[in-house]
Chains A and B, each alone.
Chain A
Amino acid sequence: MVAMPALDQDVLARRAEIVAALRGIVPGEGVIDSEVGMRPYESDGLTAYRQLPMVVVLPETTEQVSRVLRYCHEHGVKVVPRGSGTSLSGGALPLGDGVLLGLSKFNRVLEIDYANRVAVVQPGVTNLGVSNAVANEGFYYAPDPSSQIACSIGGNVAENSGGVHCLKYGMTTNNILGVEMVLIDGEIVRIGGKHLDSGGYDLLALVCGSEGPLGVVTEITVRILKKPETARAVLVGFPTSEQAGDCVARIIGAGIIPGGMEMMDRPAIHAAEAFVHAGYPLDVEALLIVELDGPEAEVDHLLDRVSEIAQSCGSTVLRASTSEEERLKFWAGRKAAFPAVGRIAPDYYCMDGTIPRAKLPLVLARMRELSEQYGLQVANVFHAGDGNLHPLILYDANKADELERAEKFGADILRLCVEVGGVLTGEHGVGVEKRDLMPVMFSETDLNQQQRVKCAFDAQGLLNPGKVFPTLHRCAELGRMHVHGGNVPFPDIPRF
């Protein structure tokens, strides 16, 4: 387990005073300090980690957020922002000496502007809520994490979330144009707007995927798109994962970027089929779901090409959806893969590395060895188009040391991802979970530069500390320059 920063006893001693001050800012039930009341906030989607916050605050206006943050800044109190609490990396894990700032009351769609194809929403609106708000006019918001009924758009921004359609349509960062954000000292800033691209530095690029430590996002301008006219999915089964991987590479190599391209391995196929009866073949090692979207003529044309490629790669099952109902059924299994796996084991631990796709066979083979070594089963679902792998490690938290083994197994998988040229996390974020693995991918210099960025926003380290970075440095220490005055050897660089 990853260790969180030691509790600040001085702050805890002032708890009553802090709670009272916060009540002065957010009236009524917006401040929760009872143990039962705070219990629902003790963890996010990474349930292995639990911690009650010092106090929960649920503001309703940007003004309140600003005043809460200003108070916390002035009084040295830590703050953890929270959307819907579905983060799988512990990004919204509370701190025992900190305020948990929930954005759930920011749940309004403020403006829908079809002429400019944008919507302005509050951060607590769910991801699906955005799409639903514009569905009447045939529009939608493209990034679609599997958690979309629950997760908030603010959380999506913080995590730069993706979904099965992000191969073609991009992740959150590619689909937002502006935010209103409150800095830790209470200052309210606007970044971007309805226009494309920013003027000065691209702060949106930093905020998106930062996991909440730069500021609290209180409003978001997202791009909305017209729904494609048709979408069809094809199920393709293969005797080996190598063939499935080859098929994916050849589809992209042929210049086709499908709306979605997902892969599942045998354990995942079996779990999903038993759960939702999607009609998946059970006698294959790998199953691909390839979705093509666009005008009907294009979809039909591409479906034929994908089918040809699949056959030339040795597919043994090939079934194209012939109705919207059937297409949704194909997806139902994949979308329910996590809960499906959750039924076959008491607990599962979801990993999220990305690899260069060509390394898939190697990674799967190594994973099988690790699975034996740790004595834990693993099922794989894979955003095959972009190489984002979700191994689900099955364990039982009630058995001694199984969680610890699962964590070690997971860490080994992520190290493997980095070793083959990939990364620790494709869409779930570093959070608490992968914090201590950051040095596998980044040098101390790399990490120090990232932390300096954090310092530019929050010099005291009060916003969501203890996440993302394995070692917390003081900003003053990071800011120091080590210039070797005069001692630098004259570099032997060609001059003109």
Chain B
Amino acid sequence: MTDILKPRDEQDVAEAVARALAEEKTLEIVGQGSKRAIGRAAQTDMTLDLSKLSGIEIYEPEELILSARAGTPIAEIEKALAKNEQELAFEPMDCAPLLGGKPGRGTLGGMIAVNLSGPRRIKAGAMRDFALGVRAVSGRGEQFKAGGRVVKNVTGYDLPKFLAGSWGTLAVITQATIKVVPRGEAVETVLVLGLDDTRAVEAMSVAMGSSCEVSGAVHLPVDVARQLSIIPIASAGKSVTALRLEGIPVSIAYRKDKLQKLLAPFGELGKLGPRDSRNFWRAMRDAAPFAGETQNPVWRVSTSPSEAPRVAAAIRASAKAEIFFDWAGGLLWVRMPGKAAEEWAVRSALAGRGHALLMRADPAVRASAQVFEPLEPGMAAISKRLKESFDPKGILNPGRMYAGI
């Protein structure tokens, strides 16, 4: 049994890290543990559970900022925002459908640490773009802060953005300030049916390159579309390319008309109304087509949209994977048919033009695969030095991203 420490405040966190340093023990940092199954399988001596470090401290809708303690549930934050018609624009993923466990879990600290953004990434930006300020405890046991509580700030290095996506390997975030924004009053979705991957990416490119302000662009090949529980998608019997429009109704009506005209030459059009749209885009956010079971390995591959059809074809050729496309083609969700991660198939198809993260796999599979994109030697050396600058003894989530980091 590993020891679980539940700090009540930042001081507790600092003491826990100091203690771990003195005893040469390693710490696993967890919020609610919703993303615990992602990353390299690593052993730690103790668990630092931040779930008690909870609560929204400042929420000023008109300043577009919210500060909360790291263990604050994302659900609590989203609820507070919804009361003011605001939201987290980057659509943090609920990992439960993909990884198992109870839905709706996840904390602010974990959300920042993983920097996983949903379909709106292409328009609104990534999670890291909304990270404004942090308080944290480094692997040196030192409490520090960076960034600020205002939306525009260039004072000092942008450590809040840097800590986003560092998977708890640099510092324990104890409190964070994020940018929050008004949410679209209404939502609708335009569908194009029956496109192959290449045509679909072209269609999405036309949509994204127009002034229609598309806030989501996914393509589901027919084998994936069939698995969704949203009737108009599942029953189409064809591949579905979906484009989301959000905003005020008068604007959506105009943009929908324009978008339909742009897309008509590509194929048969369809649409989703507001309710189906909401369900559909939540499903895309959570990679729901690959939920239902939690066994087969799933990759999350980021590349440039026009590379995507080629990368998908290459992966399918060697691994018979199911694949769907988000981010107008820039994000591929890949599910392997068996138990094996088929890492070679993914990495050789990508050939360094982007990065691939093994989002789901058994611990045994994760132990033998590179979960994160391997780094070029120069980048690996800098990453190692950066790790050492925050956590010289390697006690925070050691090995979660890379061996030795």
Q: Interface of A with B (CB < 8 Å)?
A: 113-118, 138-139, 159-160, 162, 166-167, 170-171, 173-174, 183, 187-191, 193-203, 205-206, 208-210, 226-229, 249-250, 252-253, 255-257, 294-298, 301-302, 354-358, 383, 386-388, 421-430, 434, 438, 441-443, 445-450, 452-457, 468, 479, 481, 483-488, 490-491, 493-496
**Given A202-B161, A206-B157, A423-B153: A196 in contact with B205 (beta carbons within 8 A):** no
In the complex with contacts A226-B211, A257-B182, A202-B353 CB distance below 8 A: no
Q: Which residues of B (230-285) have their CB < 8 Å from a CB of A? A: 247-248, 250-251, 253-255, 258
| Cβ 8 A contact of B146, one of A250, A434, A446 | A446
- CB pair A493 B6 closer than 8 Å: yes
**Are B304 and A356 interface neighbours, CB within 8 A?**
no
Q: Given contacts A191-B379, A202-B164, A205-B162, could you give 5 more A-B pairs where the C-beta distance is less than 8 Å?
A: A197-B117, A205-B128, A206-B159, A425-B153, A496-B49
Q: In the complex, which residue of chain A has the Cβ closest to the Cβ of B156?
A: A450
Whose C-beta in chain A lies nearest to the C-beta of B181? A257
Question: Contact at A453–B386, with CB atoms within 8 Å?
Answer: yes
- Report the nearest B residue to A201, measured CB to CB: B383
Instruction: Identify A443's interface contact among B85, B144, B211, B356, CB under 8 A.
Output: B144
B210 within 8 A of partner (CB):
yes
CA distance A490 to B154 in the complex (A): 39
Q: How far is the CB of B349 from chain A (nearest CB, A)?
A: 14
Q: Contact partner of B251 among A190, A227, A297, A485, CB < 8 A? A: A297
Given A114-B209, A425-B154, verify A198-B353 contact (CB < 8 Å): no
Which residues does chain A contribute within 8 Å of B327, judged by CB atoms?
196
Chain A residues near B15 (CB-CB < 8 A): 488, 491, 493
Q: Of the candidates A188, A199, A425, A438, which one forms a contact with B375 in the assembled complex, judged by CB atoms under 8 Å apart?
A: A199
Q: Is the CB of B389 within 8 A of A441?
A: no
Q: How far does the alpha carbon of A59 sit from the alpha carbon of B75 in the complex, in Å?
A: 53
Residues of B within 8 A of A456 (CB): 382, 385-386, 388-389
Judging by beta carbons under 8 Å apart, are A209 and B22 in contact?
no
A202→B182 contact, CB < 8 A: no
Given A257-B181, A356-B149, A493-B15, does the pair A201, B162 have CB atoms closer than 8 Å?
yes
A386 engages B151 (CB within 8 Å): yes
User: A196 contacts B383, CB within 8 Å?
Assistant: no
Q: How far is the CA of A177 from the CA of B144 in the complex (A)?
A: 28
Say how far B105's CB is from chain A's closest CB, in angstroms.
18
Q: Across chains A and B, which 6 residue pairs bring their CB atoms closest together, nearest first?
A: A199-B355, A199-B373, A205-B161, A491-B15, A255-B182, A298-B251
User: Which of A114, A174, A425, A493 is most buried by chain B, counting CB atoms within 10 A of its CB?
Assistant: A493
Q: How far is the CA of A122 from the CA of B117 in the complex (A)?
A: 29
Contacts of A198 in B (CB 8 A): 165, 355
Query: Please, which residues of chain A bring their CB within 8 A of the CB of B19?
Result: 488, 490-491
Kindly specify which of B30-38, B60-68, B333-341 makes contact with the partner chain: B60-68
The interface residues of chain B lying within 8 Å CB-to-CB of A226 are 209-211
Q: How far is the CA of A383 from the CA of B205 in the complex (A)?
A: 33
Q: Which of B135-143, B187-195, B287-295 contacts A (4 or more CB under 8 A)?
A: B135-143
**With a CB–CB cut-off of 8 A, which chain A residues contact B65?**
356
Q: How far is the CA of A117 from the CA of B329 in the complex (A)?
A: 12
A355 to B63, CA, bound (A): 10
B372 beta carbon closer than 8 Å to chain A: yes
Total of A-B residue pairs, C-beta within 8 Å: 308
Q: Give complex CA distance A488, B141 in Å.
A: 11
- A200-B155 CB under 8 A given contacts A228-B211, A456-B385, A496-B4: no
Which residue on B lies nearest to A298, using beta carbons?
B251
Interchain CB contact under 8 A, B379 and A166:
no
- Closest Cβ neighbor of B139 among chain A residues: A481
Is B4 within 8 A of A195, CB to CB?
no
State whether B401 touches A200 (Cβ < 8 A). Answer: yes
* Known A203-B379, A452-B389, A494-B5: A445·B128 in contact at CB below 8 Å: no
Q: With A116-B306, A421-B149 as known contacts, state yes or no: A455 contacts B389, CB within 8 Å.
A: yes
- Residues A487 and B22 in contact in the complex (CB < 8 Å), given A493-B6, A493-B7: yes
Query: Are A357 and B63 within 8 A (Cβ)?
Result: yes
Q: In the assembled complex, how far is the CB of residue B184 from the closest CB belonging to chain A, in whole angstroms?
A: 9
Interface residue tally of chain B, by bracket?
Answer: 35 or more
Q: Would A491 and B155 count as touching, CB distance under 8 A?
A: no
Say yes or no: B355 contacts A209, CB within 8 Å. Answer: no
Task: Map CB proximity to A onto B349-392 as digits: 1 under 8 Å, 0 otherwise.
Answer: 00001111100000000000000110110110011011011101
Contact assessment for A295 and B251 in the assembled complex, using a CB-CB cutoff below 8 Å: yes
A-B contact pairs, 22 of them (CB 8 A): A115-B306, A116-B205, A116-B330, A160-B154, A160-B158, A198-B165, A201-B386, A205-B162, A210-B157, A255-B86, A298-B250, A354-B153, A386-B152, A387-B150, A387-B151, A426-B154, A438-B156, A445-B143, A453-B157, A453-B389, A483-B21, A493-B15
| Residues A202 and B115 in contact in the complex (CB < 8 Å), given A424-B155, A426-B153, A495-B6 | yes
B125 close to chain A: CB less than 8 A: yes
Across-interface contacts of B125 in A (CB, < 8 A): 170, 174
The verdict on B208 contacting chain A, using a C-beta distance below 8 Å, is yes
A479 and B389 within 8 A (CB): yes
Q: Is the CB of A117 within 8 A of B208?
A: yes
Query: Which one of A113, A202, A421, A449 has the highest number of Cβ atoms from chain B below 10 Å of its Cβ?
Result: A449
Q: Which residues of A contact B182 (CB under 8 A)?
A: 252, 255-257
Query: B227 at the A/B interface (Cβ < 8 Å)?
Result: no
Question: In whole Å, how far is B315's beta carbon from the nearest beta carbon of chain A?
Answer: 16
A230–chain B nearest beta-carbon distance, Å: 9
Q: Bound complex: CA of A200 vs CA of B375, how far in Å?
A: 7
Bound CA–CA A428/B154 (angstroms): 7
Minimum Cβ distance to chain B for residue A186 (Å):
11
Residue in contact with A430 in the complex, picked from B4, B155, B392, CB distance below 8 Å: B155
Most buried by B among A139, A209, A358: A209
Q: How far is the CA of A468 from the CA of B6 in the complex (A)?
A: 37
Q: Is the CB of B151 within 8 A of A189?
A: no
Q: Does B8 contact A (CB under 8 A)?
A: yes
Whether A189 contacts B12 by the Cβ 8 Å rule is: no
Residues of A within 8 A of B373 (CB): 199-200
A295 to B251 alpha-carbon distance, docked (Å): 7
Kindly provide the distance from the CB of B368 to the nearest chain A CB, expressed in whole angstroms: 19
Q: Which of these, B154, B355, B390, contacts A427 with CB under 8 Å?
A: B154
B196 adjacent to chain A (CB < 8 Å): no
Contact of A493 among B5, B61, B157, B165 (CB under 8 A): B5
Inter-chain CA distance A154–B61, complex, in Å, is 34
Q: Which residues of A contact B149 (CB under 8 A)?
A: 356, 421-422
Could you say which of A170, A428, A438, A486 contacts B22, with CB atoms under 8 Å apart? Answer: A486
Contact B382 A197, beta carbon cutoff 8 Å: no
Q: Is the CB of B126 within 8 A of A196?
A: yes
Closest to B121 in A: A196
Q: Of A114, A298, A383, A387, which is in contact with the most chain B CB atoms at under 10 Å from its CB?
A: A298
- B313 part of interface (Cβ distance < 8 Å): no
Question: In the complex, what residues of B have CB within 8 A of residue A256's CB?
Answer: 182
In the bound complex, how far is the Cα of B154 from the Cα of A468, in angstroms? 11
| Candidate in B117, B185, B302 with the most chain A CB atoms within 10 angstroms | B302
In the complex, which residues of chain A have a beta carbon less than 8 angstroms from the beta carbon of B8?
A: 493-494
- Answer whether residue B316 sits at the interface, using C-beta atoms and an 8 A cutoff: no
The answer to whether B401 and A495 have CB atoms under 8 Å apart is no
